Structure 1
Amino acid sequence: MILIGFNLLLNHEFLEAEFFLNSALGHGLDSIDPSYAQGGPPPIGAKKANLDPLVRQIIEEFGYQEVGHRRAIIAATGGIPRPQLDLRAQSFANIFNQAFGFKLTTPFDPSEHINYFLASNLIPYVGLVGYVGTIPELKNSYFRRLVAGLLGVKAGLDAVLRALLYERANERVMPYDITVAEFTSRTVELKNRLAMCGIKDEGIIVPLSLGAENRTNSNILLANTDSLSHGDGTASGPRGTMTPPSL
Structure 2
Amino acid sequence: MASRSCFSALLLLLVAFEFIFVIGVTLPRCRPIVANDNDQIQFALNLEFLEADFFLFGALGKGLDDFAPSLALGGPPPAGGRMANLDPTTRRIIEEFGYQEIGHIRAITQSVGGIRRPQLNLSAEAFAAIMNQAMNTTLSPPFNPYANSINYLLASYVIPYVGLVGYVGTIPNLDRKTSLSLVASLLGVEAGQDAVIRGLLYERADETVSPYGLTVTNFTNRISEFRNRLGMCGVKDEGLMVPVQLGAENRTTSNILSADANSLSYSRTPAEILRIVYGTGSERSPGGFFPKGGSGRIAMRLLQ
TM-score of the superposed pair, with normalisation by structure 1: 0.91
Residues 1:134 and 2:170 are matched in the alignment = yes
Distance in 1, Cα, partners of 2:230 & 2:244: 25
Per-residue deviation, 1:8? 3.1
Rounded to whole Å, the distance in 2 between the matches of 1:65 and 1:168 is 25
Report whether the alignment pairs 1:56 with 2:79. Answer: no
Please tell me the residue identity of whatever aligns with 2:69.
P
2:50 aligns to what? 15
State the secondary structure of the residue aligned to 1:79: coil
Residues 1:220 and 2:234 are matched in the alignment: no
Supply the distance in 2 between the matched residues of 1:98 and 1:126 (Cα, whole angstroms).
17
Name the residue aligned to 1:43: 78
Instruction: Please tell me the root mean square deviation across aligned C-alpha atoms, in Å.
Output: 1.3
* Greater alpha carbon shift after TM alignment, 185-194 vs 99-108: 99-108
Q: Deviations over 1:33-68 (max 9, x none)?
A: 210111111100000001001110000000001111
Give, in whole Å, the separation in 1 of the partners of 2:79 and 2:57. 11
**What residue number does 2:267 align with?**
231
Deviation at 1:2, TM superposition (A): 4.3
Structure 2 counterpart of 1:162, which letter? R
Give the whole-Å Cα distance in 1 for the aligned partners of 2:146 and 2:43: 26
- Output the CA distance in 2 between the equivalents of 1:8 and 1:98: 26
The Cα shift of 1:117 comes to: 0.8
Q: Give the CA deviation at 1:161.
A: 0.2
- In 2, the alpha carbon distance for the partners of 1:209 and 1:10 equals 36
Q: What's the TM-score once normalised by structure 2's chain length?
A: 0.74
- Superposed counterparts of 1:1-247, under 5 Å: 1-2=36-37, 5-112=40-147, 113-231=149-267
Q: Relative to 1, partners in 2 of residues 1:23 and 1:223: Cα closer, same or farther, differing over 3 Å?
A: same
Residues 51-91 of structure 1 show CA distances to partners (whole Å, capped at 9, x for unaligned) of: 00111000000000111111101110111111100000000
Paired letter, 2:181: R
User: Structure 1 232/88 Cα, relative in aligned 2: closer, same or farther at 3 Å?
Assistant: closer
Instruction: Report the Cα distance in structure 2 between the residues aligned to 1:66 and 1:162, rounded to whole angstroms.
Output: 18
In the alignment, the residues of structure 1 paired with residue 43 and residue 243 of structure 2 have an alpha-carbon distance, to the nearest angstrom, of: 33
Percent identity over the alignment? 61
Q: CA deviation at 1:7?
A: 3.5
Asked whether the 8 Å contact 2:42–2:108 carries over to 1, the reply is: no
Q: Flag as ranges the 4+ runs of structure 1 deviating above 2 A.
A: 1-8
Q: Deviations over 1:121-160 (max 9, x none)?
A: 0001111111101111111222221111100000000000
- In the TM superposition, residue 6 of structure 1 has moved relative to its aligned partner by 3.8
Partners of 2:219 and 2:192 lie apart in 1 by: 22
Bigger mean CA offset, 156-165 vs 139-148? 139-148
Larger radius of gyration: 2
Gaps of 5+ in 2: 1-35, 270-304
Distance 2:59 2:159 in 1: 16
Q: In structure 2, do the counterparts of structure 1 residues 3 and 197 end up closer, same or farther at CA, with 3 Å as the change threshold?
A: farther
